[in-house]
Structure 1
Amino acid sequence: MRARTALPTALAAALLTLTGCGEGSGSDEPTGASPSNASPSDASPVPRQPATSDAGGGADGGAPVPRALRFTATTVDGKPFDATTLAGRPTVLWFWAPWCPKCKAQAAATAKVAADHAGEANVVGVAGLDKNEAMKDFVADTKTGGFPQLSDENGEVWKRFEVTEQSRYVILDKEGKTVYEGVLPSGEGLAEKVAGLTG
């Protein structure tokens, strides 16, 4: 008899412990981690949390936050970045590495799209495969500091979006669904893809 009463008590305690996880973080999952049973393109919305960073872009405070945008990171300048601020607008994630010539060739076109669509679409660089100092140098050299550049030295955001090589774009529509994933040499075609989502 004692085992029967102990089991419900243990389950109740475990559930209480789980419901306390992540309070105040603005996210229902660990930083940069993707839940094992859902992909970033799963657009099931959750209520939007207040923005806690100056991440640029950002939609109206009532926009639902798709699963793909429920992560936090740090910019190459060491500032906190909350991806929930991107909800409600199309978003371009540009995955690059500092030593990559293809990435360098994409920089000008990507920066132009960010400038041309400011306020109607988000553009975010996600640097990986090197150290932060090299990432900062790349941003300065390519003049791509006009939009957020994330330092993903540990590859957490890359893994979240299943990116396995540099020089990739992942484009999300305003609901957070992936509508394009690929290379776009020299950024060719990026402007048209973004215009199709904002027009």
Structure 2
Amino acid sequence: MRARTALPASVAAVLLALTGCGSSGSGTADDAGTVSPSASSSPAGQPADPEGSGTETGGSEVPEVLDFTATTVDGRPFDATTLAGKPTVLWFWAPWCPKCKAQAAETAEVAADHRDEVNVVGVAGLDSNTAMKGFVTDTGTGSFPHLSDEKGEVWKRFGVTEQSRYVLLDETGETVYEGVLPGGEGLAGKVAGLTG
């Protein structure tokens, strides 16, 4: 794997040491893909909110894990608080990863099939924004937003250490699945379970 110079050296060293395109990773999910209670939905390195209070936005409570902003690969501002109140699929990918490319069609199909009931957001990292834009174009996944996470901030927030991973949040912001789904297989079923 070639080094990525777009990331600060310390972040790149940690991410690249832990990242393996194609490795299954140990993750925190059990065999059924359910995250253990010890894996909270609070951002990595931040304590969980013991009283469950989050930011109030437009009358609905925003879980702390969704209280962040970012920029999309096309340069638009992105406010994650807008995801609150709906199940959310976060797809962590890298432009040069063949397993990520293999997940693209299924992820786009799930996004289209559940457009009104589930948020789907790609979180690109480990390369330049130019490469990220090319991936979105080449894979036909432009129907849902993709964050340009060149510094790995969103990846760290969700404790993701390798690409081609999914993090599924329920409508309250709790992580209900975190792991690899080769070719996106099983994503539709997991999302259907979130929507009732």
Cα 1:190–1:99 shift into 2, 3 Å: same
Matched, 1:101 2:98: yes
Given the alignment, which residue of 78, 85, 88 partners 2:85? 88
What is the percentage of aligned positions where both structures have the same residue?
72
Kindly indicate whether the alpha-carbon contact (under 8 Å) linking 1:69 and 1:84 is maintained by their aligned counterparts in 2. yes
State the secondary structure of the residue aligned to 1:48: strand
Secondary structure of 2:91's counterpart equals strand
Residue 15 of structure 2: aligned partner: none
Matching of residues 135-174 of structure 1 within 5 Å? 135-174=132-171
Structure 1 outlier segments of 4+, above 4 Å: none
Conservation of the 8 A alpha-carbon contact between 2:55 and 2:64: no
Alignment of 1:42-81 (within 5 A): 44-49=52-57, 61-81=58-78
Distance in 2, matches of 1:97 and 1:156, equals 14
Q: CA deviation at 1:47?
A: 3.9
**Residue type matched to 1:38 in 2?**
P
1:53-87 C-alpha deviation (Å, 9 max, x unpaired): xxxxxxxx432100110110000000000000000
Deviation of 1:37 after TM superposition, in Å, equals 3.5
TM-score, with structure 1 as normaliser: 0.74
Alignment correspondent of 1:3:
none
Write the deviation string for residues 109-149 of structure 1: whole angstroms up to 9, x where unpaired. 00011011011010000000000000000000000000010
Deviation at 1:36, TM superposition (A): 3.6
1:174-199 CA distance string (max 9 Å, x none): 00000000000000000000011102
Instruction: State which of 38, 48, 72 in structure 1 corresponds to 2:47.
Output: 38
Q: Note closer, same or farther for the CA distance 1:145–1:43 as it changes in structure 2 (3 Å cut).
A: farther
Number of corresponding residues: 155
When normalised by structure 2's length, the TM-score is 0.75
2:17 counterpart residue number: none
Unaligned segments of structure 2, at least 5 residues? 1-41
Q: Distance in 1 between matches of 2:195 and 2:51?
A: 18
Q: Which has the larger radius of gyration?
A: 1
Structure 1 unmatched runs, 5+: 1-32, 50-60
Would the alpha carbon gap of residues 130 and 174 (structure 1) be closer, same or farther in structure 2, given more than 3 Å must change?
same
Match of 2:3 in 1: none
1:151-182 Cα offsets, whole Å, 9 max, x none, are 00000000000101100000000000000000
CA pair 76-37 structure 1, distance change in 2 beyond 3 A: closer
Are the counterparts in 2 of residues 43 and 66 from structure 1 also a CA contact under 8 Å? no
Match of 2:120 among 123, 129, 142: 123
Please tell me whether residue 175 in structure 1 is matched to residue 183 in structure 2: no
Structure 1 letter corresponding to 2:148: S
The DSSP-based 3-state class of the residue aligned with 2:191 is helix
CA RMSD of aligned residues (A): 1.9
